[in-house]
A and B are shown apart, each in its own frame.
Chain A
Amino acid sequence: MPDFMVYALIAGLFIATVAGPLGCFVVWRRMSYFGDTLAHSSLLGVALAILFSINLQLAILTSCAVFAGVLLLLERRQMLATDTLLGIIAHSTLAFGLLVLSLSDMVQVNLMAFLFGDLLTVTASDLIWIIGSCVLTAGLLFYFWDQFLALTVHRELAQIEGIAVDRLYALLVLLIALLIAVAMKIVGVLLITSLLIIPAAAARRLANTPEQMAVGAAIAGCLSVLGGMSMSYFWDTPAGPSIVATACCLFILLYLKPAPR
Chain B
Amino acid sequence: MNKQALIKADNVGFDAAGRHILQQVSLEVQQGQLLTLIGPNGAGKTTLVRIVLGLLQPHSGTLQRAAGLRIGYMPQKLFIEPTLPLTVRRFLQLAAPGRRQPVEPLLEEVRIAHLMDQQVSALSGGELQRVLLARALSQSPQLLVLDEPAQGVDVTGQAELYQLINTIRDRHGCGVLMVSHDLHLVMATTDEVVCLNQHICCHGKPEHVSNDPAYLALFGRREAETLAVYTHRHNHSHDLTGDISHDGCNHDKGHDHA
Give A residues with C-beta under 8 Å from B. Answer: 27-30, 146-147, 149-150, 152-154, 156-161, 163, 200-201, 204, 207-210, 212-213
Contact = CB atoms under 8 A, between A and B. Distances in A.
Contacts of B81: 27-30
B97 A147 contact: yes
A12 to B, nearest CB: 25
A200 B81 CA distance: 14
A158 B135 CA distance: 11
B16 to A, nearest CB: 13
B76 to A, nearest CB: 10
B73 A150 contact: no
B78 A208 contact: no
Complex A-B, nearest 3 residue pairs according to Cβ-Cβ distance, in ascending order: A146-B97, A150-B94, A28-B84
B237 to A, nearest CB: 33
B94 A209 contact: no
A157 B73 contact: yes
Nearest to A27: B83
B31 interface: no
B1 interface: no
Contacts of B54: 160
Contacts of B135: 157
Contact of B87 (A27, A149, A152, A208): A208
Interface string B44-86: 0000000001110000000000000001010100101101111
B203 to A, nearest CB: 25
Contacts of A147: 97-98
Interface residues of B, number: 25
Given A154-B75, A160-B53, 8 more contacts: A146-B98, A153-B80, A153-B86, A156-B73, A159-B55, A160-B71, A160-B73, A208-B85
Contacts, number: 65
Nearest to B120: A153
A144 to B, nearest CB: 8
B139 interface: yes
A158 B53 CA distance: 12
A161 B83 contact: no
A209 B83 contact: no
A210 B75 CA distance: 22
A131 B98 CA distance: 27
A159 B55 CA distance: 8
A213 B96 CA distance: 21
Contacts of A204: 83, 85
B67 to A, nearest CB: 16
A209 B85 contact: yes
B215 interface: no
A204 B86 CA distance: 11
23 contacts: A27-B81, A29-B81, A146-B93, A147-B98, A152-B84, A153-B80, A153-B94, A156-B55, A157-B135, A158-B94, A160-B55, A160-B73, A161-B95, A161-B96, A163-B97, A204-B83, A208-B87, A209-B85, A209-B86, A209-B90, A210-B86, A210-B90, A213-B84
